[in-house]
Amino acid sequence: MNLTRPALHTSLSPALLHLYNVSNSIVVIIDVLRATSTIATVLYNGAKCIIPVDSVAECIRIGKQIEGITAGERDGRVAEGLSYGNSPFEYPREFVKGKTLVLTTTNGTKLLHMALDKGAKKIITGSFPNLTSVCNYLIEQKLPVILGCAAWNDKVNIEDALFAGAVINRIKEHFTINCDASQLAETMYIDAKESPYEFLKAKNASHYNRLSGFGLEKDIRYCLTEDVADVLCVYEGGKLIISQSHN
């Protein structure tokens, strides 16, 4: 056993993030349905950057200031006053190439700012669409990792835990994992990996129900598909950008 392997932990809810040593870690923000999947897609499709903000008001203010695309959701729908929502399909290459998106989402951007406030060493976003980039980066950095699930209003959700489990399943040999939440996430992922979509449906996952109630099955299927927007999204200087050195 290599005793120098860095630690990996999974925080299943933002309300548990304070239990982990954020300040010496890479924090992976995970909001599978749909913020971090959309972030990967927007950057993959050539946007210049994404500015994640906490509130709709700030989104509008900054959007005007920089002439960016204002985007975001509250409770699964386009937030009032913003131009676009949180669906990856709203952001094809011909629309977003070279542009700046100002984004606010219910849970994902909140967690990102928590990680920032707690002094995370590095912050990246993770989703099935950019799974391989996330895994390669975490292996390469040789730093402690916190897989931070955005959850839903602090309630643990299946899809974010599933993604944490997918990452763990791929990179665990490179880390020291003394973390029951990580084991729980990986155990569930192993059960689900043949078809995460069918798994969410069968398990009556709360956000699956919420989004499919809005007719968003296509979004859900996309957000559970590996490596369809496989770029590394890092948070630097107030913006999410593609890390040039890793793509």
Tell me: does residue 223 bind its own copies (CB under 8 A).
no
| Residue closer to its own copies (CB basis): 12 or 234 | 12
| Residue closer to its own copies (CB basis): 111 or 161 | 161
Least Cα distance to 103 among 90, 117, 116, 122 occurs for: 90
Give the span between the Cα atoms of 205 and 139, in whole angstroms: 30
User: Contacts with its own copies: how many residues (CB under 8 A)?
Assistant: 29
Distances (CA, A) of 136 to 49, 70, 132, 133: 22, 31, 6, 5
- Within 10 angstroms of residue 57's Cβ, the number of other Cβ atoms is 11
Tell me: does residue 178 bind its own copies (CB under 8 A).
yes
Q: Which stretch binds its own copies (CB under 8 A): 48-56, 120-128, 202-210, 218-226?
A: 202-210
Among 161, 211, 223, 232, binds its own copies (CB under 8 A): 161
Least Cα distance to 224 among 137, 156, 149, 128 occurs for: 128
- Fill in the per-residue mask, 53 to 92: x = in contact with its own copies (CB under 8 A), - = not in contact: ----------------------------------------
- Residues paired with 102 in a beta bridge: 51, 70
Least Cα distance to 103 among 51, 166, 159 occurs for: 51
The percent helix, strand, coil of the chain (3-state, each to 5) is: 45, 20, 35
Name residue, tokens 């985007």: 71
Tell me: does residue 205 bind its own copies (CB under 8 A).
yes
Using DSSP's 3-state secondary structure scheme, residue 228 falls into coil
Give the span between the Cα atoms of 149 and 114, in whole angstroms: 12
| Residue closer to its own copies (CB basis): 9 or 170 | 9
Least Cα distance to 101 among 43, 50, 36, 63 occurs for: 50
Tokens read off for 15: 């309300």
Tell me, rounded to whole angstroms, the distance of Cα 212 from its chain centroid. 20
Tell me: does residue 212 bind its own copies (CB under 8 A).
no
Q: Which stretch binds its own copies (CB under 8 A): 109-117, 204-212, 213-221, 237-245?
A: 204-212
Among 24, 206, 225, 247, binds its own copies (CB under 8 A): 206
Tell me: does residue 197 bind its own copies (CB under 8 A).
no
Q: Which stretch binds its own copies (CB under 8 A): 53-61, 66-74, 198-206, 227-235?
A: 198-206
Shortest Cβ distance from residue 200 to its own copies (Å)?
9
Shortest Cβ distance from residue 127 to its own copies (Å)?
18
Shortest Cβ distance from residue 20 to its own copies (Å)?
9
Q: Footprint of its own copies on this chain (CB under 8 A)? A: 12-13, 15-16, 19, 152-158, 161, 177-181, 183-184, 187-188, 191, 203-207, 209
